[in-house]
Amino acid sequence: MATGRNHRPATTRSRGIPEATVARLPLYLRALTALSERSVPTVSSEELAAAAGVNSAKLRKDFSYLGSYGTRGVGYDVEYLVYQISRELGLTQDWPVVIVGIGNLGAALANYGGFASRGFRVAALIDADPSLTGRLVAGIEVQHTDGLEQIIDESGVSIGVIATPAGSAQQVCDRLVAAGITSILNFAPTVLSVPDGVDVRKVDLSIELQILAFHEQRKAGEEAPEEEETAPPAAPPAAAVSKRPEPGSDGDRPAVMPA
């Protein structure tokens, strides 16, 4: 039996829960919250797995890391699981968030009500454009980047969201880290380098679209009538070709979607 260290899944620093399990916890939580809103008291692992889009054996394994095994014939207690997963994800406390770069995306994020309802309170909005300073976005005053360190210090923020053009993202990241931020959500299409102890999550909708384009292309290939197989190969769809700019270039546009 393979018990060597190399076969162990990557785990979180705190309680040895595999990272892959942590990544699925928000999916379970979203499905459970929907059940809770419909006042559903219990749910079977199969039902919950289907609602979360996860294999049920994987779900049971994931929940075993939380010490939650459900009751045979009854299933899992929805409210208790919501509490357990929220606690595990650190959502039973308020997480103040700073958004840097209040353009189209930053303003949309600031206005998104779903953050606050999940415990992420937008505590500060920062932008380098002086014409935005003092402007109200989602009821919060935009502040200038000159005061970034002081704003972070005073607002007790622990999570930074970067929504600046790619060319500014590393510099913004460096300042956030120097100011004490240890978790960054990066929307800019560039790879950030950070010191040990700082977690970066990257969101890139264009990558998701490229993956969908890949599947669409495969589906089209599977459905194509036989005679088409002899036709000359078509030019690859635009989304399959990486147009992503090199980090440091002026590219602040995702490969597929206009920024």
Ligand X SMILES: NC(=O)c1ccc[n+]([C@@H]2O[C@H](COP(=O)([O-])OP(=O)(O)OC[C@H]3O[C@@H](n4cnc5c(N)ncnc54)[C@H](O)[C@@H]3O)[C@@H](O)[C@H]2O)c1
Annotated binding-site residue? 162: no
End-to-end CA distance of the chain: 50
Residue 140 has a CB neighbour count (10 Å cut-off) of 16
CA–CA dist 32, 49 (Å, integer)? 10
Q: How far is the CB of 95 from ligand X (least distance, A)?
A: 20
Do residues 42 and 77 touch, judged by C-beta distance below 8 A?
yes
Q: Which is nearer to ligand X, 85 or 166 (CB)?
A: 166
Footprint of ligand X on this chain (CB under 6 A)? 100-106, 126-129, 145, 163-166, 168, 171-172, 187-189, 203-205, 252-254, 259
Annotated binding-site residue? 111: no
Annotated binding-site residue? 6: no
Q: Which is nearer to ligand X, 81 or 172 (CB)?
A: 172
Q: How far is the CB of 236 from ligand X (least distance, A)?
A: 22
Report which residue's Cβ sits closest to ligand X: 103
Q: How far is the CB of 207 from ligand X (least distance, A)?
A: 8
Q: Which is nearer to ligand X, 75 or 106 (CB)?
A: 106
CA–CA dist 140, 111 (Å, integer)? 10
Q: Which is nearer to ligand X, 40 or 128 (CB)?
A: 128
Q: How far is the CB of 255 from ligand X (least distance, A)?
A: 10
CA–CA dist 39, 215 (Å, integer)? 37
CA–CA dist 68, 10 (Å, integer)? 21
Rg for the chain, CA atoms, rounded: 22
Binding site for NAD(+), by residue number, is 101-106
